[in-house]
Structure 1
Amino acid sequence: MPTTDPALPVYPAACDDDVVPDYVQALEQAAHYLNDTQKAMLRRAWAVGAAAHAGQNRKSGEPYITHPVAVAQVLAEQGLDVETLVAAILHDTLEDTPLTRADIAAQFGETVAELVDGVTKLDKVQFANRQEAQAESFRKMLLAMARDLRVILIKLADRLHNMRTLGAQLPEARRRIAIETLEIYAPIAQRLGMNLVKSELQDLGFRALHPWRHAVIEKRIRSQPLARREALAQIEARLAQRLAMEKLEHRLVGRVKTPWSVYSKMRAEGRSFDQVMDVFGFRIVVDTVADCYHALGVVHAAYKPVDGRFRDFIAIPKANGYQSLHTVLFGPYGAPIEVQIRTREMDLIAERGVAAHWAYKAGEGSSGNSAQARAAAWIASLVESQRGTGSSLEFLENVKVDLFPDEVYLFTPKGDILALPRNATALDFAYAVHTDVGNHAVTARIDKRLAPLRTRLVSGQTVEIITAKSAAPSAQWLEFVVTSKARTAIRQHLKQLEHEDAVQLGHYMLDRALGVLGTALDRIPMDRLEAYLAENRYSRLEALLADIALGNRMPVQVAQALAQPAEGAPADVAIAQQRPEERIFITGGERGVISFAQCCQPIPRDPIMGYHTAGKGIVVHRLDCPHVSEYRKSPERWVAVDWAREVTGSFSASIRIDVENRPGVLAQVAAAVARAESNIDRVEYLERDRSIAVLRFGIEVRDDRHLAEVLRGVRRLQVVQDVQRG
């Protein structure tokens, strides 16, 4: 045990609370996890620090000792050990008071003295105006971090409290400190996985750097319209209900955006405030990793996921040890829902990073969590790299590349280098090499080992793409590519497939119209066909056929022009009266050329008709749709359609429900719909008074029998007075 120097004041371990300042009591409350001996050591550190800083005040006028105690409180809230808290209380004594390193070592031990010395070395070279001084200070900070990670934790807590009390500084100093915080300290906190500290540093830095912008955005965040708050509550209730139905123990919280996060997204993505805020964020915390994936399935059943926006940071943690599942869902009225799913331990590490479950043992190195191990490995690699750099400036630039890893650098088998965005996959690499390579990619060989196309790449890897002539892009590829070139090429190929479907349907429709005139497309003279294509500015016959399928050309009119019936023949009447009996059978797998009207929402086994609509192709309506009477005025646009014997997929439908207006009714109805194995797309209130509410649920069903099953399940509820197809 360290001995007590009689020349230094010692605060007794047991003392009445009324002689202890409030800020010290606040520290002890935050450090409630310490035992009595450790709490006594904490008080002794405060007494020594208060005596050493006696007569010193901050620019705000408060006694200087309030600052280091507040720094210790920040660390106590992170659950740090007593040695770190004591070092935090004393972290400014070596530089600003007569207290020596030997004094601290005698009072509190060598480890505390080493921590205080490490922090002091950082402060002796200020982050002043000269870039070289800033870089050299950073190099020294790195070396101190390499000896003991707790040095940077103290420094981050010191910076956080300084940012909280930045108002007392002059404008020029506020700006310098804010820039330094945003460029150095916040990224380091992020790299160490300390997201709570990082987030607050960023927001405080933003407020100091751009006070007017911060104030405007903060005011708008606080004054969100009632409709958004209602939508947020509706989404939260639905997610909670689905999770509860699956008997998943969970904690569900809405994520509140900070002004800095809103501002950063507005600036980075060129979006307006309303576009950025039109995103709902939730975090789901469960018990086990298996529960994480179970919860993911539940939220994907509640709301459809957005292609390409799912990230599995549990299987592949971030460089700072962060683990979580990220997904983006299509929310009500088109607003995205960002959801994070993680275990309790992952949530603790995500918020506190290397400070979570601190397990440091003096003389034995760090034996803490994965975030600590990754941080230690990162710092060790930086220490190694700094030995080979010529100057502090060069070293700082290298570290900034690591702190802001926006790109990964990869090698082709021939040694060429390709730069791709962060999180790029082997498939992104394939498209970066050549579009044809991407379109025919089958798998990848990364550093001579076979790997799936969805594998994320890291800098320095050598990637070879294996192709096959028979391979082709699929819609699933859009779920994991990140580059615009890959996304564009995949979508273009999928559009080509839709185009082929349109050409096939257009051929069928034109042949059918020609059949009424006693001819067929292959019997039309080539010169007449080419003349028609040239006259209507079609480069190829396929373009004409696709236009027919999409409703931009009427097959009847094209057939008349190509067949050239005799003068005086009532062609229009003949065609209108001779409706061919062949029907287009809908299987549910049609791509782009057949759609279903939202006004009447036909589902399999409903009596239906098809209407040729410009730009949309064939739009399918129910025969009892109120618009059908209007369509009868254009019989040439009618298309005979029917359901195939086997129809796959889900179809949109609406149900209108009259319910008692009381708490929990919405959840009961949603649960009944869920029990019938139907997904809910949207919920809206049509009418509402004190006793009755009329709801419309947009749901997905397989056919009319499935819809009937949903209606029966809802009708059984005691709170439901009436339910019908809407």
Structure 2
Amino acid sequence: MIDKITNIKIEGEKQVQDALIEVLDLCPRCRTKEQRTLIINAYHFAYEAHKGLKRKTGEPFIMHPIEVAKIVLTEIRLGVTSVMCALLHDVVEDNEEISLEDVENKFGKQVASIIDGLTKITNIYDDEQNVQAETFRKMLMSIPQDIRVILIKLADRLHNMRTLDGMEENRQIVKAGETLYVYAPLARRLGLNKIGRELEDLSFKHHLPDDYKKLLQIIKSSEEKREKNFNNFQDRMRPILKRSGIKYEIIGIRKSLYATWIKMRERQIPFDEIHNFQTMRLIFDPKIRDSERMQCYRIFALITEEFTAKKGSLQDLVKNPKANGFEALIVDIMDYEGNWKEVQILSRRMADIAERGYSSEKGDKEEKLSEREKWIQSIGDQLINPESNALDFLDNFKLNIYTSEIYVFTPLGKIVKLPKGSTVLDFAFHIHTQLGFHCIGAKVNKKLVNRSHVLNSADQIEVLDSVSTLPDKSWMNQVVSARAKTSLKNSLKKQIKDNVQQGEIILKEVQSTLDFETDQASINKLVKYFHSKDKRELYNKIGKGLIGTEELTKGFRTVNSTSLFENLIPSIFKSKSSDNNHSINQEFSHKKPFLIEESVEDTSYSFSECCHPIPGDKSIAYKNPNGYITIHQISCPNAIKLNAEHGKSVAKVQWGSHLLTQHLSSIHLKGIDRKKIVHELTEVISTQMNVNMKSIHIDSSNGIYNGNITIYVSSLNALNSLISKLKKISGIKTVERIKN
């Protein structure tokens, strides 16, 4: 095929040629021969690099970079250089014969730099480093230098998720976990809300397919009701807005299925009580003579003349936009059925940013450029302490992806933006690191509070400090912001490092006075004697003063006096090492299921306390660096994190038959209160179903009761049987398992 504008022959099968031509025709900046030639040259370079390769779906591999380029162009709206980089993003990673130098020689330093940011890290040989986390860190560190790296990576991940069906199930779970943990929240944080919603839903579909299908069915069953409500709002507002001369459109924006599922699970509420699943978004074309904010308020006045507004529901995000740039005037109104529904009022510019973030702006005006640069710099400011461990770095960055924020004031009236839930200590660290280290409390709105006091929007804070105050480990539980957590971690690490050095010196001094050997065997005995996990912890205790010289002297004498006695004990009387106490001899691999048979003696794995999995649950097994295996429910946030950070140390769980061993689980009940309801519940649980209860808690208010019951069950089948039985009790409306 010959391109008509450049007269360049396009290589490849017809399917591939047509896909590239579509990209070229969609590109508004590819009208000139020079720009079009750049993209075709990038395509030919990628075509040769991937020649003969097929995707898991069976199509030519080159279709993937072409589709990524299409997303970059149409859904994120980037330019020619970004389209070239999208086409080239896998050439260095997937072809050993191509280097970054080759890319630079062919396409220039800027393109090579972006491709470098998009290329996975493979040359890590230190077992303590995590390849996944190091790759994420490399990618995130590129944000202040060139935001296009992360935008192209999000396009790459979006296309991978759209075609995830072609992968094996274990790879689907890992990819979905990575996406939920890193990519979807990052897309939201960058203002790419449309992409963020799709990433969440595609991950939800593959990570928790049963929950996904159930929720999808519930949503489809109420589709007609939502459409009727939407049409009613449109019909009532149409004549009002027309009389006011406002050019507008009204669209429905849905929450992602995953966000809806999370909200239902966390609040223990049914789908019908999610009032903002579908938001009505009124988008207007602003008039030049008035500010956009004033026009938003005029439309708000028109809406609230026609509909009843919920008291206290108004949010002015035009004056105080979200961190990702989202601006809107938001209010809850009562629909024709008496239910509260959310309405967002936005200008055309605000609506564009709401879906694509600041990446959607053209940047042709100086003020727009400075606004975008300020936004990118705000992301860069969060990448503090890049020298830290990659996993710590990733966790700290995650802490900065907040959807909710508060605005507080300094004593001089300066506005400070903090994540929701921030404390006085978070505020102190935001002002200055040293102020945080010496913070003892504050005056909040002229009232004295301690440093763990949680702040609210509009609070005015005056921090109180003392040079004699120094942070300790408990302070980590008093902060939520990444800045404060990182500063405290670094301070505590330095304290431990100093203690370890001092502790080692003290130990050697005590040893020299006693004339005992300090070989590794002796140190290991001292570690056990002082109940420490390793010699570093032992040194830290000594340096911190928790182990005095007298105790250390006694310890030296005790472990040395027992050495001879231990050597005389026959090996058959010695207890077996816990390291050898593994009844499962199966090889652990992320490529095949980890089988769990019923056993009361197997100590090679444990069930996590965070989500309490039971046999039959869809679960994952995580093998830590010490070889110990932990079982998590697949829906557990920690499981999602483990898939994202340690994908090759995670395997799907396959359950054997479980009838005897008992596992903790909790259920939530709700219904109409009446006499003897608790008696009937316990009768069914204990007598009829022969299930042991750990605890039962029932609250009643206005004729409605809510209760939580913790029980011991052998498997998911046993739990489901109990739930089915409880639902038959008169007056019970809902019985659900409490997860995570």
Shorter-chain TM-score bucket reads: 0.5 to 0.7
Kept in 1: contact 2:6–2:37 (CA 8 A)? yes
Aligned-pair identity in percent equals 32
Q: Measure the CA separation in 2 of the matches of 1:224 and 1:237.
A: 20
Hey, what does 2:82 align to over in structure 1? 84
Q: 1:215 aligns with which of 208, 213, 216?
A: 213
Does residue 1:200 correspond to 2:198, yes or no? yes
Kept in 1: contact 2:190–2:357 (CA 8 A)? yes
Structure 1 window deviating more from structure 2 (257-266 vs 311-320): it is 257-266
Q: Measure the CA separation in 1 of the matches of 2:314 and 2:176.
A: 34
Kept in 1: contact 2:255–2:276 (CA 8 A)? no
The number of residues matched between the two structures is 421
Hey, what does 1:174 align to over in structure 2? 172
Q: Structure 1 segments of 4 or more deviating over 6 A?
A: 128-131, 407-413, 423-426
Given residue 142 of structure 2, which amino acid in structure 1 is its aligned partner?
A
Q: CA deviation at 1:15?
A: 4.9
Hey, what does 1:112 align to over in structure 2? 111
In structure 1, the residue corresponding to 2:144 is in which secondary structure? helix
Q: Measure the CA separation in 2 of the matches of 1:115 and 1:367.
A: 26
Hey, what does 1:717 align to over in structure 2? none
Hey, what does 1:338 align to over in structure 2? 342
Q: Measure the CA separation in 2 of the matches of 1:111 and 1:132.
A: 28
Q: CA deviation at 1:374?
A: 4.3
> TM-score w.r.t. structure 1 length?
0.52
Q: Measure the CA separation in 1 of the matches of 2:277 and 2:111.
A: 46
Kept in 2: contact 1:104–1:113 (CA 8 A)? yes
Hey, what does 1:94 align to over in structure 2? 92
Hey, what does 2:301 align to over in structure 1? 297
Change (3 A) 1:216 1:455: closer
1:389-443 CA-partner distances (Å, limit 9, x unpaired): 6422322222221113667698999xxxxx99829999xx9xxxxxxxxxxxxx9
Does residue 1:311 correspond to 2:308, yes or no? no
Does residue 1:27 correspond to 2:31, yes or no? no
Hey, what does 1:39 align to over in structure 2? 36
Change (3 A) 1:65 1:11: farther
In structure 2, the residue corresponding to 1:333 is in which secondary structure? coil
Hey, what does 1:247 align to over in structure 2? 245
Q: Measure the CA separation in 1 of the matches of 2:85 and 2:107.
A: 9
Change (3 A) 1:48 1:192: same
Q: Measure the CA separation in 2 of the matches of 1:312 and 1:425.
A: 24
Structure 2 gap segments, 5+ residues each = 287-291, 412-416, 428-443, 448-454, 465-740
Change (3 A) 1:445 1:45: farther
Q: Measure the CA separation in 2 of the matches of 1:311 and 1:462.
A: 27
Kept in 1: contact 2:255–2:278 (CA 8 A)? no
Kept in 1: contact 2:229–2:335 (CA 8 A)? no
Given residue 107 of structure 2, which amino acid in structure 1 is its aligned partner?
F
Hey, what does 2:49 align to over in structure 1? 52
Kept in 2: contact 1:423–1:456 (CA 8 A)? no
Hey, what does 1:456 align to over in structure 2? 457
Change (3 A) 1:277 1:336: closer
In structure 2, the residue corresponding to 1:323 is in which secondary structure? coil
Which structure's CA Rg is the greater one? Answer: 1
In structure 2, the residue corresponding to 1:147 is in which secondary structure? coil
Kept in 2: contact 1:192–1:371 (CA 8 A)? no
Hey, what does 2:70 align to over in structure 1? 73
Q: CA deviation at 1:304?
A: 1.5
Q: 1:326 aligns with which of 322, 325, 330?
A: 330
Structure 1 window deviating more from structure 2 (98-107 vs 403-412): it is 403-412
1:458-514 CA-partner distances (Å, limit 9, x unpaired): 9x95489xxxxxxxxxxxxxxxxxxxxxxxxxxxxxxxxxxxxxxxxxxxxxxxxxx
Kept in 2: contact 1:88–1:154 (CA 8 A)? yes
- 1:592-671 equivalences in 2 (<5 Å): none
Q: Measure the CA separation in 2 of the matches of 1:106 and 1:377.
A: 30
Change (3 A) 1:404 1:356: same
Q: Measure the CA separation in 2 of the matches of 1:256 and 1:406.
A: 19
Does residue 1:160 correspond to 2:185, yes or no? no
Hey, what does 1:63 align to over in structure 2? 60
In structure 2, the residue corresponding to 1:247 is in which secondary structure? coil
- 1:498-647 equivalences in 2 (<5 Å): none
Hey, what does 1:355 align to over in structure 2? 359
Kept in 1: contact 2:315–2:331 (CA 8 A)? yes
Q: CA deviation at 1:164?
A: 0.5
Kept in 1: contact 2:69–2:84 (CA 8 A)? yes
1:125-159 CA-partner distances (Å, limit 9, x unpaired): 79x99994433222212222222111111111111
Q: Measure the CA separation in 1 of the matches of 2:419 and 2:205.
A: 30
Q: CA deviation at 1:185?
A: 0.8
Change (3 A) 1:50 1:179: same
Kept in 2: contact 1:320–1:374 (CA 8 A)? no
In structure 2, the residue corresponding to 1:306 is in which secondary structure? coil
> TM-score w.r.t. structure 2 length?
0.51
Change (3 A) 1:259 1:130: farther
Given residue 31 of structure 1, which amino acid in structure 2 is its aligned partner?
C
Given residue 25 of structure 1, which amino acid in structure 2 is its aligned partner?
I
Q: Measure the CA separation in 2 of the matches of 1:382 and 1:110.
A: 27
Larger relative contact order, structure 1 or 2 (CA cutoff 8 Å, min sep 6): 2
Alignment RMSD: 3.9
Hey, what does 1:493 align to over in structure 2? none
Change (3 A) 1:333 1:131: farther
Q: Measure the CA separation in 2 of the matches of 1:255 and 1:72.
A: 26
In structure 2, the residue corresponding to 1:386 is in which secondary structure? coil
Q: CA deviation at 1:217?
A: 2.0
Q: Measure the CA separation in 1 of the matches of 2:310 and 2:463.
A: 28
Q: CA deviation at 1:273?
A: 1.8
Kept in 2: contact 1:329–1:336 (CA 8 A)? yes
1:658-680 CA-partner distances (Å, limit 9, x unpaired): xxxxxxxxxxxxxxxxxxxxxxx
Given residue 258 of structure 2, which amino acid in structure 1 is its aligned partner?
W
Hey, what does 2:382 align to over in structure 1? 382
In structure 2, the residue corresponding to 1:21 is in which secondary structure? helix
Structure 1 gap segments, 5+ residues each = 1-9, 414-418, 430-442, 447-453, 465-726
Kept in 1: contact 2:114–2:148 (CA 8 A)? yes
Q: CA deviation at 1:166?
A: 0.7
In structure 2, the residue corresponding to 1:305 is in which secondary structure? coil
Kept in 2: contact 1:410–1:461 (CA 8 A)? yes
